[in-house]
């Protein structure tokens, strides 16, 4: 299974790939992926490649990703070409009008992309006092609710609980649950 995680530097993309790595290892699968460190972390566009299973290359090839996690809507849309046919995208969406673009719809239909949108910024603003630091956990929660990737119930949540620094564990789990519940309710 191959993932692309897209966002901007500082959104905790590396934490998300560590969570997926933890899950893979506990399933007895190999882990391979590629991260961005250094200059691009300063608020610039960042994508992380992540694979579970037997792969030699850390990089996902365009058209091969099973799942795209987008911490930023624009960064997600810029990287939709990574998705394979019937791939799934979990997007922190803040500008719904973009999805009514006919060309974008044509792409999504042609590739049969399963699109899951969650209003991460609104949820964090309303429910967690605007602590956007926890967006990564929220998106992982939405991923768990989406059914994409066939994660076992609790599998991702447990990994978040295990990897989050102790003082932020509760907040991370709260954000995870916000994402999970929002998508489950179909908001």
Partner 1 sequence: MNTRKVLLGNEAIARGLIESGCDVITAYPGTPSSEILPAAAAFADELGTKTVVEWGANEKVALEVALGATFAGKRACAVMKQVGLNVAMDPFMSAAHFQLEGGMIVIVSDDPGCHASQDDQDSRGLALFAKIPCFDPSSAEEARAMVFSAFELSEKHKVMAMLRPAVRIDHCRQDIEPGEVSHASAPANFKTRPAGHKVVMPARILPFLEAHNARFEAIRQEFETEFGQYNFEIPSKKPASLGVIAGGVSFAIVKDLVEALGRDDVAILKIGTPVPLPTKRVEDFLARHERTLVLEETFPVIENQVVDRTKIMGRWNGWVPKEGELVPEVIESVLLRALGVEPEADPALESLAAAREKLKLAVKKPVLCAGCGHRPSYFAIRKAFPDAVIASDIGCYSLSIQQQAVDTIVCMGASITVASGLCCAWRSEGAEPQRPVFATLGDSTFFHNGMTGLATAVYNRHPFVLAIMDNRITAMTGGQDHPGTGDKPRRNETGTSVDLEGAVRGCGVKYVKVLEAYDVEGNLETIREAWAYAKEQGEPAVLVFRHPCVTMLKARPEKRPVTVDTQKCVGCRICQDRFGCPGLAWDGENRKAFIDGRFCVDCGVCVSACPHGAIVRIGEVR
Residue ranges in contact with partner 1 by CB under 8 A: 8-10, 17-18, 21-22, 24-26, 28, 30-45, 50, 55-62, 64, 74-75, 77-78, 80-81, 98, 101, 103-104, 106-107, 110-111, 121, 125, 130, 132
Closest distance to partner 1 from the beta carbon of 109 (Å): 8
Of the pair 2, 145, the CB lying nearest partner 1 is at: 2
For residue 14, the Cα-to-chain-centroid distance in whole angstroms is 11
Rounded to the nearest 10°, the torsion over CA 104, 107, 110, 116 is -70
Of the pair 58, 147, the CB lying nearest partner 1 is at: 58
Rounded to the nearest 10°, the torsion over CA 95, 5, 163, 149 is 100
Q: How open is the CA angle 31-147-112, to the nearest 5 degrees?
A: 95
Of the pair 33, 141, the CB lying nearest partner 1 is at: 33
Closest distance to partner 1 from the beta carbon of 162 (Å): 13
CB atoms within 10 A of CB 106: 10
Of the pair 3, 116, the CB lying nearest partner 1 is at: 3
């Amino acid at each position: 299974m191959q993932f692309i995680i897209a966002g901007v530097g500082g959104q905790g993309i590396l934490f998300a790939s560590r969570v997926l790595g933890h899950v893979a290892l506990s399933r007895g699968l190999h882990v391979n992926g590629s991260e961005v460190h250094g200059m691009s972390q300063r608020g610039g566009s960042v994508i992380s490649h992540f694979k579970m299973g037997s792969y030699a290359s850390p990089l996902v090839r365009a058209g091969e990703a099973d799942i795209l996690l987008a911490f930023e809507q624009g960064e997600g849309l810029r990287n939709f070409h990574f998705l394979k046919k019937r791939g799934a995208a979990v997007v922190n969406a803040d500008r719904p009008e973009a999805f009514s673009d006919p060309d974008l719809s044509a792409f999504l239909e042609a590739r049969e992309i399963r699109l899951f949108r969650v209003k991460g910024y609104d949820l964090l603003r309303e429910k967690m006092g605007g602590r956007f630091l926890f967006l990564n956990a929220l998106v992982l929660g939405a991923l768990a609710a989406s059914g994409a990737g066939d994660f076992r119930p609790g599998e991702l949540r447990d990994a978040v609980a295990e990897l989050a620094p102790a003082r932020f564990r509760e907040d991370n789990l709260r954000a995870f649950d916000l994402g999970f519940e929002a998508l489950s309710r179909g908001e």
